[in-house]
Structure 1
Amino acid sequence: MKVTQEKLPASQVGLEIEVSADVTQKAYNNAVSKLARTVNLPGFRKGKVPRQILIQRLGSGRIKATVLEDLIDDSLKAAIDQEKIEALGNYKLTSSFDELIANYKPGEPFTFKASVDVPASVTLGTYKGLEFKAEQTDYDPSKLDEFVEQKRSEAATLVPVEDRGAQMGDVAIADYEGRYVNDAGEEEGEIIPGTQAEDFSVEMEEGKFVPGFIEGFIGMKLEETKKFVVTFPEEYGNEEMAGKDVSFTATLKELKERELPELDDEFASDISNEEFETLDAWKASLEEQFKKNAEITTKNSVRQQMLDLLAQNNEVDLPEVSVNEEITAVLSQQMMEFSRMGIDINQIFTKDMVPKLRENARPEAEQRLGNSLILTEIAKVEKIEPDEEKFNERLEQAKSEIEQDFDEDRLKEAITEEIVIEATLDWLQEQSKIEFVPAGTLEAEAEETEETIEVEAEEEEE
């Protein structure tokens, strides 16, 4: 069998396969014999149909199609074995099947083309001595104070208010309805769907609702009805309402203020489910946690910037079959996260929505897969091995947490890969020159760059 290979994009190999004349004749004879044994034709007993009658009744096109289905499949498998190709998933026939039927003649050489996915290839470029900026997140005591006050607010008792108007921090119970405002500044008649509610609990805190909505309730007193206009943001999720002025008519039915608990040992014990007996002990634990979170945030910034550079400097050719598997893994992870949050995944992962969800998950899947392959290749080149003690600890922990049956070999493989990738990232960081900048700096620089690009694009259009 003559096989010609061609490297294709997306980690594919193109194959041009020439099948010898004797094989095409044998395949034809076998197919006709099989049809003669299995086809039922009126006037003939099963398996007793004469060859010429069979060909005449079924037609040469149908018979050749039957021959080629098996011939192509068998020839492709033989070609992959012959060429020692590590194929992933199913093949794709790139020749026109109709043209193949028309050109096929038993007893003559037969040529067709197909492509197969092969394992991803990684071409390493620069990965040592990287130079980049990363954000340094420092422990901020004020964030701890904000967290403590938030917990006090969550544990607060709601007390009715009758002698003053509504103010920030209150909880207002109100009826409201919204209508569009026309160009003349007048309300239109129809209530906008989704902008009407009765006995709705409005937590008067900044950022809780559309800008301007909470502010509309400030100063309102019990049983008061008030109109106020809110301009919905241009980027609002409901495109029909985005950028529009909406006039709300609201009636305040109840008003409550939060009575905060005392910040003392009793509060600390209650809020921590009796884990800590004193306020000082609880705060000390929180401080340790906040400091650790700041270190993790800094580490994540370093790794993200490093991964971005690695993706730029190193080439990865990803097979579609692997990308699709990673997309499935991304969506499975999202489903588990939604389930933990109490969200009904059946409302999100519907039959109609799945194709769109898969499309949206593709960039993340390609990035995750590419990063993993680059790091694995670097580990191989640099001979980075997993730490045995860390491996054993993770393995025992994983076994204790998994409740159903599992494949221990696959678990060990996954843990090994995870530890090696972590070790490789640590090794790369040691090899890099990092300039630490305050948190938020890189995001601001990226936004500024994006705005500059947009302005330049607009100028070019003009």
Structure 2
Amino acid sequence: MKVTQEKLPASQIGLEIEITPESTQQTYEQVIRNLAKTVNIPGFRKGKVPRQILLQQLGNARIKATALEELIQNGIEKAVEQESIEAIGQPRLRSSFDDLINNYEPGKPLVFTAAVDVKPEVNIAQYTGLEAKAEEIKHDSNRVDEVLEKERQQMATLIPVEGRAAQIGDVAVVDFRGVIAKAEDADPEAEPEPIPGGEASDFQVELEEDKFIPGFVSGMMGMNPGETREVSAQFPDPYVNEELAGKPAIFTITLKELKEKELPELDDDFAQEVSDFDTLEALRASLDERYQKEAEDKTKANKQEALVTELVKHVEVDLPATMIDQEIDTMLTQTAIKLSQQGLDVRKLFTEDIIPQLRERSRDEAIERLKRSVALQEVSKRESISLTPAEIEARVTELLEQYADEEIDEDRLRSVVENEMLTEKIMDWLLEHSTVELVPEGSLSNEEEATETTEPETEAETPESTTESGV
């Protein structure tokens, strides 16, 4: 079999394959024999149909098409093996199948063309001495106080209030009913429109401004138990219920009970109640250490992200369709799993009509993810960065012990661990051989926003080039 290779775009190899006359004849004859054994033709037993009758009944085009399918499939498989091509995905026939049927003559050479995807060649112009900026996340010591105060609030005891009116910080038990406020030009005789779900009895609400829609809590200030009052409020925009977003409302509120929080003392007893520590000082130190570590991890993640973003700018790679499709598949599968874990019916969200749109919307992100992945793999290859089996096994064993009560696929776990550890090792190498300037938190995002708002419009923009992208 003669095979001629040709380099094609998108990391494809084109193959011109010439099947020998002997093979085209043998395959054709074998197809006829197989059909004679399986086809039912009235008046003849299976396997006893005369050749000429079989050809008349089935038609030469059908037999040739069946033979061609086998010749093409076997031809491509043998060509890939003969040329030692590391193909990925399914090969594609480039020749017209109809033309092949018309030109195919058993006993004569058959020439057709196909294409196979292969791993892309990665060209990195630079991967050392990179320069990037990343936001530094600093631990705010006030966070420990905020966390402890939140715990105190959750452990508070509610004490009935007597002899005073409602104030911020109280907990109120109310009955309420809400309606949409009438427009100025509305019919004064018309009944106000009730708010869907805007009615409740014995509803407990913390009198904090952020606990309800704007105006509701502030309108209750000064109320006394047993009092009923009409309070004006307004739904924020945006709002979960889009039909209510931005609309003014009137709530009729009856205050039934008023309570205040009695907070526990912030002492060693409190620490023992909310944690495994014996003293408040130890609890504070543990929280401080945890949040300090969290800030350092976020800073490192920012540095890694900035560095990979810079690295990709120096990468040239012609990604094959197979890799892009596989990455899109992975992304959609991950999304489906997350939605399913949230209790959503994935089958209703991923319909036959919507999946093609989702795939198209995911394409750019899939390409970006692949560029990052192949760039890191290329750095690993060039610098011989690898893991030892002992390193992988140690981490796998640690995780298995940590999650001993759960069913875990060890092979899957090992694969994930190896990928994560190798990526971390590559990133550490890049950080050692590059410069990442740390800047205050929020400064880079502010720069991006400023750039977007001051970017001039160009005359070259067209309605087609500025269409909204999907989410």
Task: Decide: shared fold, TM above 0.5.
Answer: yes
- Contact map agreement 2:182 2:192 (CA 8 A) in 1: no
Q: Which amino acid counterpart does residue 155 of structure 2 have in structure 1?
A: A
- Contact map agreement 2:121 2:317 (CA 8 A) in 1: yes
> Who is 1:349 aligned against?
346
Hey, what's the Cα distance between the residues in 2 that align with 1:21 and 1:216? Answer: 93
- Contact map agreement 1:174 1:201 (CA 8 A) in 2: no
Match of 2:436 among 434, 437, 442: 434
> Who is 2:198 aligned against?
196
Which secondary structure does the structure 2 equivalent of 1:151 belong to? helix
Are residue 277 (structure 1) and residue 278 (structure 2) matched? yes
Structure 1, 44-53 or 384-393: larger mean CA deviation: 384-393
- Contact map agreement 1:212 1:231 (CA 8 A) in 2: no
Hey, what's the Cα distance between the residues in 2 that align with 1:289 and 1:227? Answer: 44
Hey, what's the Cα distance between the residues in 2 that align with 1:191 and 1:95? Answer: 67
Are residue 288 (structure 1) and residue 285 (structure 2) matched? no
> Who is 1:247 aligned against?
249
- Deviation by residue 1:217-251 (Cα, 9 ceiling, x = unmatched): 65666553435342542x55665555x43435353
Hey, what's the Cα distance between the residues in 1 that align with 2:55 and 2:434? Answer: 72
- Contact map agreement 2:127 2:314 (CA 8 A) in 1: yes
User: Cα–Cα, structure 1 residues 38 and 337, in superposed 2: closer, same or farther, change >3 Å?
Assistant: closer
- Deviation by residue 1:34-62 (Cα, 9 ceiling, x = unmatched): 11111011111111111221122122332
Alignment RMSD: 3.7
Structure 1, 118-127 or 155-164: larger mean CA deviation: 155-164
> Who is 2:469 aligned against?
none
- 1:390 deviates by 4.5
Are residue 79 (structure 1) and residue 79 (structure 2) matched? yes
Which stretches in structure 2 are left out of the alignment for 5+ residues? 464-471
Q: Which amino acid counterpart does residue 262 of structure 1 have in structure 2?
A: E
- 1:294 deviates by 1.2
- 1:442 deviates by 1.0
Hey, what's the Cα distance between the residues in 2 that align with 1:319 and 1:169? Answer: 63
- 1:6 deviates by 3.1
Hey, what's the Cα distance between the residues in 1 that align with 2:222 and 2:52? Answer: 96
Hey, what's the Cα distance between the residues in 1 that align with 2:358 and 2:211? Answer: 28
Q: Which amino acid counterpart does residue 268 of structure 2 have in structure 1?
A: D
- 1:108 deviates by 4.0
Are residue 224 (structure 1) and residue 223 (structure 2) matched? no
User: Cα–Cα, structure 1 residues 320 and 156, in superposed 2: closer, same or farther, change >3 Å?
Assistant: farther
User: Cα–Cα, structure 1 residues 456 and 358, in superposed 2: closer, same or farther, change >3 Å?
Assistant: closer
- Deviation by residue 1:378-405 (Cα, 9 ceiling, x = unmatched): 1221222436775453132134346547
> Who is 1:5 aligned against?
6
Hey, what's the Cα distance between the residues in 1 that align with 2:102 and 2:234? Answer: 69
- 1:109 deviates by 3.8
Hey, what's the Cα distance between the residues in 1 that align with 2:49 and 2:251? Answer: 85
- Contact map agreement 2:134 2:303 (CA 8 A) in 1: yes
User: Cα–Cα, structure 1 residues 6 and 343, in superposed 2: closer, same or farther, change >3 Å?
Assistant: same
Hey, what's the Cα distance between the residues in 1 that align with 2:123 and 2:250? Answer: 60
> Who is 1:451 aligned against?
453
- Deviation by residue 1:296-344 (Cα, 9 ceiling, x = unmatched): 11111111111111122213444444445445555565666667xx732
Q: Which amino acid counterpart does residue 152 of structure 2 have in structure 1?
A: R
Aligned positions of 1:37-186 closer than 5 A? 37-161=37-161, 163-165=164-166, 167=168, 170=171, 173-177=174-178, 179=180, 184=185
Aligned positions of 1:23-42 closer than 5 A? 23-42=23-42
Q: Which amino acid counterpart does residue 350 of structure 2 have in structure 1?
A: M
- 1:413 deviates by 5.5
- Deviation by residue 1:92-112 (Cα, 9 ceiling, x = unmatched): 334444444344343444344
User: Cα–Cα, structure 1 residues 239 and 31, in superposed 2: closer, same or farther, change >3 Å?
Assistant: farther
- Contact map agreement 1:372 1:421 (CA 8 A) in 2: no
User: Cα–Cα, structure 1 residues 366 and 218, in superposed 2: closer, same or farther, change >3 Å?
Assistant: farther
Which stretches in structure 1 are left out of the alignment for 5+ residues? none
TM-score, structure 1 length as denominator? 0.82
- 1:146 deviates by 1.2
- 1:159 deviates by 4.1
Structure 1, 281-290 or 65-74: larger mean CA deviation: 65-74
User: Cα–Cα, structure 1 residues 265 and 312, in superposed 2: closer, same or farther, change >3 Å?
Assistant: same
User: Cα–Cα, structure 1 residues 84 and 50, in superposed 2: closer, same or farther, change >3 Å?
Assistant: same
- 1:121 deviates by 3.4
Q: Which amino acid counterpart does residue 353 of structure 1 have in structure 2?
A: F
Hey, what's the Cα distance between the residues in 1 that align with 2:161 and 2:106? Answer: 94
TM-score, structure 2 length as denominator? 0.81
Hey, what's the Cα distance between the residues in 2 that align with 1:188 and 1:89? Answer: 66
- Contact map agreement 1:181 1:188 (CA 8 A) in 2: no
- Contact map agreement 2:3 2:15 (CA 8 A) in 1: no
**Count of residue pairs brought into register by the alignment:** 450
Are residue 315 (structure 1) and residue 319 (structure 2) matched? no
User: Cα–Cα, structure 1 residues 427 and 28, in superposed 2: closer, same or farther, change >3 Å?
Assistant: same
- 1:138 deviates by 1.7
